[in-house]
């Protein structure tokens, strides 16, 4: 979601709270708890630490 729409962590959190389409895009139901910006940041750092950020980026270009 962040790559597609060039969102900051706070904007990604806000978008997930406000948009059903965005929630569906990332696989969250309306009953699911949305990740906060800190969780989004930690997840991105985990991807980077394990080299998965490059793989996700390459997949998003296809």
> What's the rounded Cα separation, in Å, for the pair 11 and 50?
25
Count of domains in the chain? Answer: 1
Angle at 42 between CA 30 and CA 21, to 5 degrees: 25
Containing domain of residue 11, as a range? 2-61
User: Measured between alpha carbons, how far is 20 from 43 in angstroms, rounded to an integer?
Assistant: 21
What is the CB neighbour count within 10 angstroms for residue 12?
A: 22
Question: Lowest-pLDDT range, 6-10, 24-28, 51-55?
Answer: 51-55
What's the pLDDT tens digit per position in 21-42? Answer: 999 999 999 899 999 999 999 9
Report the predicted TM-score, pTM, of the whole model to 2 decimal places.
0.78
């Amino acid at each position: 979601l962040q790559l597609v729409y060039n969102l900051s962590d706070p904007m990604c959190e806000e978008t997930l709270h406000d948009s059903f389409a965005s929630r569906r895009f990332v696989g969250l139901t309306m009953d699911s708890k949305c990740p906060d910006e800190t969780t989004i940041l930690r997840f991105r750092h985990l991807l980077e630490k394990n080299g998965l950020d490059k793989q996700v980026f390459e997949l998003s270009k296809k």
